[in-house]
Structure 1
Amino acid sequence: ETKLNNISPFKLASFLPPSVMSFVHLDAMGASGGILTAWNNNKFHLKQSLWDRSVSAQFDCCASSLTFWVTNVYEPNSEADRDNFFQELFDLQQIVTGPWIIAGDFNTVRSADDRNSGRVTTTETLRFNNWLHDMQVQELPLLDRNYTWSNMQSTPILTRIDRVFFNTDWDLALPNSTLHSLPRCTSDHFPLK
């Protein structure tokens, strides 16, 4: 979640390494949202990109014959908007061929373990887990952290709302994929790599 509109190369250079200057993005809506996919042209070639409520990009790897998809998401907080969001990803699944990874802020949890308070609503967790089952994706486990978001208060609310999922083709092509967090700078989310 960038929370930014009209990302320029100058702004991008303020928080990404110099080698990463190509990007596709979806502007924020007010003070929330905004999605950015950025890459190094010496390592990946963009074949195509699609965006609506998410940003999807198909890449060719310059060092091999691998072609893969990356979809970055920022799921709406509104229950009414979530059905449209889920439908968009179902529709995208019909277009995507080969390895595919879906990553980002899902603004929802899978179980009570995903909140330090342990409080969840059954409809929230069922909707998310049913969607994952229907999409036939697996979660890439986060290896070094239980929670990915904090309200930054003295008695914090902690949740695991940032996640990465992958399809079977991704697992076959890249079976040793791992997920770790990066240091948090200014965001209320921990970045993942």
Structure 2
Amino acid sequence: MAQVVTCRVKFIPLQLEFIATFVYVYNMKEDRKELWDHLSQLSGNHKEPWIVLGDFNVVLHREDRLGGNPVTLVEVTDFQNCIDNCGLEEIANSGSQYTWNDKQDARIFSKIDKVLVNGEWVDQMPDITAHILPEGISDHCPLVVQMLQSFSRKENQDREAMRRIQMQLQLTPLNATIQKEEKELSDKFRRSIYLAESILLRKQSNLD
């Protein structure tokens, strides 16, 4: 469909696979509804790490616009509902505060370009950040998505979660629900260790 391209990506250095959806959303509110429905349908079709990024052509928060008309609830409701339905969250970003301006005399600045990820991405993938670069001669600022080199925070969180559930399992060793959760958390911690080691090896090889 228009407004969106979705593909499966394999990040070979870490042997990770994820779904990436690139958006360029229509300007008119009514024309965007088809995309919100499509994204909601995509979110139900897979439970894999998923990143959604691009020009959404709509703000999400009051502080996302400077100048022009004030941000209204009606303006942001459809986008917010889509994010909630898909289980997405915006990743941390740095650099410019706004991603678009109209280049007119009385400037309007907006943050309409975003990078969103689902819960599976947060649980299974290395931490990432989006850096918003100056716009240059364009009216949009480029977004550079970078994978953070340190994976120790996620590894520690997964280790602690595994430790807690294993303590519960010692108290109720025949509890099938806790057994299943312990296996899932152990697998998750194992992936975290692998990712941390892979990133460290890549960092070391770059220094050689």
Displacement of 1:52 in angstroms is 4.1
5+ residue gaps, structure 1: 1-50
- 1:1-193 alignment to 2 at 5 Å? 52-117=2-67, 119-193=70-144
Greater strand content: 1
- The number of equivalent residue pairs is 143
Per-residue CA deviations over 1:77-109 (Å, capped at 9, x if unaligned) read: 122211111111112223334111000111111
Aligned residue for 1:178, secondary structure, equals strand
Structure whose residues are more often helix by fraction: 2
| Higher RCO, Cα 8 Å, sep 6+ | 2
Contact 1:53 1:88 in 2 (8 A): no
Report the structure number with the largest CA radius of gyration: 2
Structure 1 vs Structure 2 CA RMSD:
1.7
Q: For structure 2, which runs of at least 5 residues remain unmatched after alignment?
A: 145-208
Q: 1:183 to 1:145 in 2, by over 3 A?
A: closer
Conserved 8 A contact 2:101-2:140: yes
What is the distance in 1 between the residues matched to 2:94 and 2:84?
22
Q: Is the 8 A contact 2:25 2:55 kept in 1?
A: yes
TM-score scaled by length of structure 1: 0.68
